[in-house]
Amino acid sequence: MRRRWSQAGMLLGATLFLHGIRSFQGRVMLIGGRYETIRELGRGGVGRTYLAEDTYRRGSPKCVVKKLQLPLKVPVLLEKARTIFEEEAQVLYRLGEHEQIPRLFAHFEQHGDFYLIQELIDGHDLRQSFSLGDRWEEKAILSFLREVLEILDFVHQQSAIHQDLKPENLIRHWQDKKLAVIDFCSIKAIRNLIVNTAGEIGFSRPLGTPAYMPPEQAAGSPYCCSDLYALGMMGIQVATGYMPNQLPRNPETNNLEWHDQARISSNLATVLDTM
């Protein structure tokens, strides 16, 4: 029996050693000892997204791996980041119960970095559909608003806020043509954690994308209506063919002046203004 265990231990050690050599040489990169990266899908200031395969599951199905990094790995920030990461991961598990939101398969910390393993949505984002100069018909705008609002209704019922609605975070499935909402922003707060000279923890900047961000979110206090503002901005964008930050604002009210650039009914224009 002792000899069998010795042989098994030697075999295991040799296997791990060989795996380490392969990883070092760049042939295999397993995240969490399980997820093999295929290619990088995108990167931000302190985060990266990968297309990967789950080597533990039959057929090695593809998934999305999101890596979130702290700008500075110090104990006080790591402790705060762990709290945020755990709380927001639980929200993502609940949100993934909706068929038009990617499922979260796993979340974990490795070497002070934080990882999300999510369902791969097989489709294309809406950036091309929102190309500069393209104006949609009113029927298409109404259909788009209805689709996103139905998903947001579920999100807000879970006491969650997306905080970064924009064309690239909306994916149209290749097969059934349904829209999916991806890349919920709250968990990304750990990337913006800072500590000042007094030892107080805060955030370096608000979450979200400026062109679609309402004032309350820019001030660090987002509400569910902040998502509606972002959706309204996208509606104005496809109605006019211009990015929201390319349109003039009224100097007295600071409201966008865009009606003369659109070919839609006054009713829809009022709805978009209200959002």
| Active-site annotation, residues | 164
DSSP class per residue in the chain? -HHHHHHHHHHHHHHHHHHHHHHHTTS--EETTTEEEEEEEEE-SSEEEEEEEETTSTT--EEEEEEE--SS--HHHHHHHHHHHHHHHHHHHHHTTSTTSPPEEEEEEETTEEEEEEEPP-EEESTGGG-TT----HHHHHHHHHHHHHHHHHHHHTT-------GGGEEEETTT--EEE---SGGGGGGGEEE-TTS-EEESS-SS-GGG--HHHHTT---HHHHHHHHHHHHHHHHHSS-GGGS-B-TTT--B--GGG--S-HHHHHHHHH-
| Spatial CB neighbours of 82, under 8 Å, sequence gap ≥ 6 | 109
The tokens 């042989």 sit on which residue?
Answer: 7
Q: Cβ–Cβ contacts within 10 Å for residue 235, how many?
A: 24
